[in-house]
Amino acid sequence: MKLKSLNKFISFLIFICYSSILLAEDQIDIWNKSKKENNEIIIQDEERLKPKNNLKISNTPILNNIKIEDKISEETENIKIFGIYDPADNDFNLNMWIETDAEQVRSSFKRIEKIKLSNTASKLFENTILSFAYPPKGMKEKEFLDLKIKWLIENKRIDLIERFLKQNETFPNKKKLIQYLVDSNIAKANIKDGCEKTSFLDKEIKDSYLEKFKIYCLVYKKKLGEAQLQLDILREEKKSDNFFDDKINFLLGVTNKTTKKIREDNLLYFYLSSITINNFKFEPKESTKKVIWDYLNSANLIQLEDNRDKEKLKSLEIAANKNQFDKKKIFDIYSNISFDLKSLIEAEDSYKTFDNIDARALIYQKYLLSDNEENKIKLLFLLKDLFQKDDLSNIFVKILSDRLKEINLDEVSESYIEVVQKNIIPEEEFLLGKIKYDDKILHRSRVIKYFQNEIDQKKAQKDFLKIFKKIKKNRKYFFSAKDLALVESLAKDGFDIPREFDYQEISKQYSIPNDLLKLEKNKESAFLTLKLVEIIGEDEAYSLDPETIYFITHLLNQNNLRKIRNDILISALPQRS
């Protein structure tokens, strides 16, 4: 009896333990299930917030990294967007415009069009309008796109136009950008590159001008049979005309005569006129289109003044040195001055027998004829000395840098490498000058390196406290608006600011326009940058008054636009040589 009772008791204990294990397993399964369901909800939510297929730009890796910070509304869900930059690169997002009224954007664009923007303002404008984003409130996607296209063309941003075409597969008015690229290359008498730009065309684009140019490209590439076939198709579609037929037939050899008429209505017809008429002569007028003027210059179809007129050439050199005349045209004139073969062969010695202008022209021509990298370097520096001799260094400093960039350093000895690199001027340094750090003035101190990403926050914090400690000892030191711009930006990024420097109290003496402050509350970050473009206008950031620099950086800090803020600070604060 006792044994049976014991067995029953043991069986009961085993049952209890087994049930507990099952219960624990059930609890774990339930927890996992709940977690899985929650994950599915999050994933579904993320999928819902992702751009739809109609936002996809073919071959555009940029969209893979775009962060969507706000939910996509039903109104914007089916809108296509076009651009170049990931909005996150400049601390924007896809919804950067949707709280701004369309009319405000139109008005701002019109005002900006009348301003010759500085490099600072132009870069800010470019980064804003060419970021992928939904259009402003009340503006159709096509109108928003047309604003971008118009700006690209009016500002001759060929580099950005090509990027735009590569990153946006199909969009309204695509043919307008392609034609601009084509005409830009014809204007440079660079038909080969112009023909390459037709690769941006797709089957959906039907444009008679571009199709005619494609036919000429086939002739240019000597694909005559294919050109004839495409011409016949164009005629059947009634997209050709007598003038174009006449010119292509002449180039194909179908006819041996062509009209002597010169057509100016578009650049392609003018170009065809120039290459098919013997002894082509054309006198441009005030009404002649600028693109035709450009082509005439590039193709040397304008009669230039006598290159031997030394007094005139000297005055042009002086004007170029003062940035009043195109420096490159000075070298065009040099290249057209005639020298005998003996002088060119012995140029390194014979230049001494010429006057200063001819000496520079002779050495420049010798440089153009040279195919040895080390010899090119010697000639460039000899030319530098000749310009310095007549106090005309400004003509050559940028040309020298550009030509040295073309030198293949693998083909020169080490003794040349250092001198070449010292004379190559980075683009930003050329425009602004080299930074000179001054730790006696806070906004000119080496702390600026933080905004250039040259030092990390830990190092910058240490430098800042050390410099501040020294400056604090100078009782005559006055904390300026530029100092305030720097310190407030550091504080925004999480730096520890000494209590004795009450930057928030100091900031109260500077007023900031209320209409700009409201834009932060309304989350109109993109429109704020347009307003800043208008404020900066023709000025570079470094030429703005200190109070303006402060309130611009304050607004950028308030709107978390750190990348743009850093660009402004790097331009505005440091002293440069």
pLDDT for 210-268, tens place per residue? Answer: 999 999 999 999 999 999 999 999 999 999 999 999 999 999 999 999 999 999 999 99
Q: What is the pLDDT of residue 567?
A: 93
Q: The tokens of 325 are what?
A: 């005349």
Q: What is the pLDDT of residue 425?
A: 65
Which contacts qualify for 287-291: CB closer than 8 Å, 24 or more apart? 288/264, 289/264, 291/183, 291/187, 291/267
Residues 299 and 314 grouped into a single domain:
no
Non-local (6+) Cβ contacts of 102 within 8 A are 135, 136, 137, 138, 139, 143
Q: The tokens of 562 are what?
A: 């750190």
Q: In angstroms, rounded to a whole number, what is the distance separating the alpha carbons of residues 6 and 62?
A: 74
pLDDT in tens, 266-283: 999 999 999 999 989 887
Q: What is the pLDDT of residue 443?
A: 93
Residues 245 and 322 grouped into a single domain:
no
Residue 89 maps to a domain: no
Residue 429 has pLDDT above 70, yes or no: no
Residues 398 and 475 grouped into a single domain:
no
Q: What is the pLDDT of residue 29?
A: 37
Q: What is the pLDDT of residue 281?
A: 87
Q: The tokens of 46 are what?
A: 């993320």
Residues 330 and 259 grouped into a single domain:
no
How buried is residue 84: exposed, middle or buried, by Cβ count under 10 Å (0-12/13-18/19+)? buried
Residue 319 has pLDDT above 80, yes or no: no
Q: The tokens of 48 are what?
A: 């819902």
More confident residue, 333 or 125: 125
* C-alpha 357 chain-centroid distance: 37
Q: What are phi and psi of 425, to 5 degrees?
A: -100, 120
Q: What is the pLDDT of residue 89?
A: 94
Which three-class secondary structure state does DSSP give residue 557? helix
Picking from 369, 390, 425, the residue at the C-terminal end of a domain is 425
Residue 127 maps to a domain: no
Q: What is the pLDDT of residue 314?
A: 84
Residues 373 and 322 grouped into a single domain:
yes
Q: Distances in Å between the alpha carbon of 390 and those of 133, 314, 334, 360, 401?
A: 53, 10, 16, 11, 19
Residue 185 maps to a domain: yes
Average pLDDT for the chain: 83
Residues 280 and 186 grouped into a single domain:
yes
Q: In angstroms, rounded to a whole number, what is the distance separating the alpha carbons of residues 501 and 294?
A: 58
CA-based radius of gyration for the chain: 33
Q: In angstroms, rounded to a whole number, what is the distance separating the alpha carbons of residues 108 and 534?
A: 8
Residue 167 maps to a domain: no
Residue 372 maps to a domain: yes
Q: What is the pLDDT of residue 77?
A: 62
* C-alpha 414 chain-centroid distance: 34
More confident residue, 410 or 102: 102
CA-closest candidate to residue 230, choices 243, 247, 211, 244? 211
Q: What is the pLDDT of residue 73?
A: 53
pLDDT in tens, 129-178: 999 999 999 999 999 999 999 999 999 999 999 999 999 988 998 999 99
pLDDT in tens, 60-72: 444 444 444 444 4
More confident residue, 141 or 575: 141
Q: What is the pLDDT of residue 44?
A: 38
Residues 367 and 382 grouped into a single domain:
yes
More confident residue, 457 or 329: 457
Residues 239 and 347 grouped into a single domain:
no
Non-local (6+) Cβ contacts of 130 within 8 A are 83, 84, 85, 148, 160, 164
Q: In angstroms, rounded to a whole number, what is the distance separating the alpha carbons of residues 439 and 486?
A: 14
Residues 245 and 177 grouped into a single domain:
yes
Residues 490 and 509 grouped into a single domain:
yes
Residue 41 has pLDDT above 90, yes or no: no
Instruction: Compute the average pLDDT of residues 415-423.
Output: 79
Non-local (6+) Cβ contacts of 476 within 8 A are none
Number of folded domains that form the chain: 4
Q: What is the pLDDT of residue 422?
A: 79
Q: What is the pLDDT of residue 40?
A: 37
CA-closest candidate to residue 482, choices 397, 536, 539, 550? 550
* C-alpha 196 chain-centroid distance: 22
Residue 197 has pLDDT above 60, yes or no: yes
Q: What is the pLDDT of residue 283?
A: 76
Picking from 374, 406, 425, the residue at the C-terminal end of a domain is 425
Q: In angstroms, rounded to a whole number, what is the distance separating the alpha carbons of residues 331 and 320?
A: 11
Residue 2 has pLDDT above 60, yes or no: no
Q: What range does the domain containing 270 cover?
A: 173-303
Which three-class secondary structure state does DSSP give residue 101? strand
Q: The tokens of 97 are what?
A: 């415009």
Residues 474 and 370 grouped into a single domain:
no
Residue 95 maps to a domain: no
Residue 87 has pLDDT above 80, yes or no: yes
Residues 283 and 358 grouped into a single domain:
no
Residue 184's Cβ-side half-sphere holds a number of Cα atoms within 13 Å equal to 20
Picking from 390, 425, 460, the residue at the C-terminal end of a domain is 425
More confident residue, 78 or 264: 264
More confident residue, 505 or 422: 505
Q: What is the pTM of this model?
A: 0.65
Q: pLDDT category, 326, cuts 50, 70, 90?
A: confident
Q: In angstroms, rounded to a whole number, what is the distance separating the alpha carbons of residues 483 and 492?
A: 14
Instruction: Compute the average pLDDT of residues 284-304.
Output: 77
Residue 92 maps to a domain: no
Instruction: Compute the average pLDDT of residues 389-410.
Output: 87
Residue 91 maps to a domain: no
Q: What is the pLDDT of residue 410?
A: 83
**Widest Cα–Cα separation across the chain:** 136
Instruction: Compute the average pLDDT of residues 290-297.
Output: 83
